[in-house]
Structure 1
């Protein structure tokens, strides 16, 4: 067991249940393709990071998928809103004895291993590491101990999350990482490094 742990929150890749805002523009099938590509990107960028890694599924643990147990331990998210689920995931790993825990989602083509590795290094001299997202949320959160307040009373999915979280962290030594673009809408996808041509889009109706 290492002292550092990476938590990766994922949604089970099921048609009509992932990237629903993106699906309003490109349809459920292509939205599922994009999400599977996001999962693959996240796995590729994280599998060589020198830490213990945990994948937290939202609705059911899947054995035969890209997350090999050679590199990843598998767990199930608890019930509740995003804040409750993240809080409980952190608590599980802190109780296991990990000293530095970082959580990331699976929604960023801009996420790179070096960003996560930098966050772990920053936690040596900081209480918290956080990566702001362009939509007003955050894509990475690194903690050395539990902070229940930052997971409570948030409008998850709204543009107020990052600011509200920083308010809760007042008095803590916080490292701010680069601001990145997570993928919620077609506009987000266009601004990312993703090759949209693979989707073979002939026509779209923008309703974001």
Structure 2
């Protein structure tokens, strides 16, 4: 086990009305939550084999009976906004002695185990690694030292997060992964026919 590597998985609790709210505007709270549960299962599946310490950070409370096995340490996010919550998680990780820390969300169906291995391997050479999302954000951020600037002065719901982060890192050596599409709206489902069919079949 690579005990110097930490994977942070930021997750919403799969409660109707509390997750996938933009998707829910089109398909309703219950259907949006069912889609989110599919995404959670995928996240658990692709992160389980990773040779790293893995932590799931829930938005509101620790889900006891969830899709993540006992390989995963489970916590609750701390902070007043997404940037502060991510910064706090990284800061605690570095204080605990981890040398390479990566954070991902639970909104992607096309992220793979290999993507995360590539990110950890990139941190052997680069201080930062980013996984660009199609909507202008990022689905993965990794670093070898805490950089609090990356979590400040960002509109986390906008399409400028990636560009603003790259500006913060303009003097740094960065590795970029392949672009992926996170699922936030009904239109995002168009790329994933199986998931859309699942939605239609179960609702």
Are the counterparts in 1 of residues 35 and 195 from structure 2 also a CA contact under 8 Å?
no
Cα separation, 2, equivalents of 1:30 and 1:192: 16
Cα separation, 2, equivalents of 1:134 and 1:202: 27
**What's 1:92 paired with?**
92
**What's 2:166 paired with?**
166
Name the TM-score, length of structure 2 as normaliser: 0.96
Are the counterparts in 1 of residues 39 and 106 from structure 2 also a CA contact under 8 Å?
yes
Cα separation, 1, equivalents of 2:174 and 2:78: 27
Distance apart, 1:108 and its partner CA: 0.3
**What's 1:206 paired with?**
none
Are the counterparts in 2 of residues 4 and 98 from structure 1 also a CA contact under 8 Å?
yes
Unpaired stretches in structure 1, ≥5 consecutive residues: 204-208
Distance apart, 1:16 and its partner CA: 1.2
Are the counterparts in 1 of residues 79 and 88 from structure 2 also a CA contact under 8 Å?
no
**Which runs of structure 2 are paired with 1:47-196 in the superposition (5 Å)?**
47-69=48-70, 71-192=71-192, 194-196=194-196
Are the counterparts in 2 of residues 2 and 52 from structure 1 also a CA contact under 8 Å?
yes
Cα separation, 2, equivalents of 1:201 and 1:186: 16
Cα separation, 1, equivalents of 2:172 and 2:81: 25
Are the counterparts in 2 of residues 126 and 175 from structure 1 also a CA contact under 8 Å?
yes
Cα separation, 2, equivalents of 1:78 and 1:66: 22
What secondary structure, in the 3-state scheme, does the structure 1 residue paired with 2:6 have?
Answer: strand
Distance apart, 1:201 and its partner CA: 6.3
What secondary structure, in the 3-state scheme, does the structure 2 residue paired with 1:195 have?
Answer: helix
Runs of 4+ in 1 over 4 A off after TM superposition: none
How many residue pairs align between the two structures?
Answer: 202
Unpaired stretches in structure 2, ≥5 consecutive residues: none
The alignment yields a C-alpha RMSD, in angstroms, of 1.5
Name the TM-score, length of structure 1 as normaliser: 0.94
Distance apart, 1:24 and its partner CA: 1.2
